[in-house]
Amino acid sequence: MKTRILLISDIHGNYPALRAIETSFAAISFDRIINCGDSLVYAPFPNETLDWLQQHEALSILGNTDKKVIKLLKGKTFKKPSKHEKRIMYESTAAVLSDQNRSYIQGLENLTSLTIPTGKKKKVTIGIFHGSPTAPHEFLFETTEDKRFEELAADCQMDIVVTGHSHTPYHKHIGGIHFINPGSVGRMFDGNSDVSCAIMEISSETISVQHLRIPYDVDAVTSAIAEHNLPAIYGLMYKKGQKLN
């Protein structure tokens, strides 16, 4: 018995990137899709992104950008980011969300879990977080010291921890726990604009993870940014695959 799961995170409203994943994996069947949050803000396709997640029944949680959009939907505000060129990306997202997607995003949790049966009386438990199991804003990188992962493992009541937030793909097996980050679907910062995602396969014997990079239509994103009169720096950011502000 083998379960295949698509791991995604940090889509940031980049629907063309999601479509590239779907096209690339057209011949592959997934049992589940896990999405670790930050589905919204920066690329101007929020409704298309949330529609896709719902159509594919992705198991999604909230990220920090999603929470700030929710604040705006509730008539509240936030202190950071304070720069106009960043705030307008949140405001423009909140302004165009459909009623269905407003309801959907506000119904998501900060974290969740999933249990996968792997055989007779056997199971694997997956914890799904945005930052880390203990802090939604914590950045966990490939270079984060093993000691930190050991601390997290000591408090984990699960077999696998899947996180996002750092936009950094990795798979570590520390303290008996598999720590996995699929990278960012829609906004990588490593100088390569390609989508980053991962395929996890779980059986009674093994847990395997394959990280992938997939090219997508970056011009579709940069053109949409220009058409919506959004700050040009974001178009440049997508072209370069870097964080510029």
Is residue 90 a part of any domain in this protein? Answer: yes
Is 166 strand, coil or helix? coil
Residue 107 lies in a domain: yes
The answer to whether position 226 is within a domain reads yes
Residue 88 CA, distance from chain mean position: 21
**CATH no. for residue 154?**
3.60.21.10
* Cα–Cα distance, 237 to 187 (Å, whole number): 8
List per-residue pLDDT tens for the chain, 245 residues long: 799 999 999 999 999 999 999 999 999 999 999 999 999 999 999 999 999 999 999 999 999 999 999 999 999 999 888 888 999 999 999 999 999 999 999 999 999 999 999 987 889 999 999 999 999 999 999 999 999 999 999 999 999 999 999 999 999 999 999 999 999 999 999 999 999 999 999 998 899 999 999 999 999 999 999 999 999 999 999 999 998 77
Q: What is the pTM of this model?
A: 0.96
Kindly state whether residue 186 falls inside one of the protein's structural domains: yes
Largest CA distance in the chain: 57
Q: Which domain holds residue 116?
A: 3-240
Domain count, the chain: 1
Radius of gyration over every alpha carbon of the chain, rounded to an integer in angstroms: 18
- Residue 245 inside a domain? The answer is no
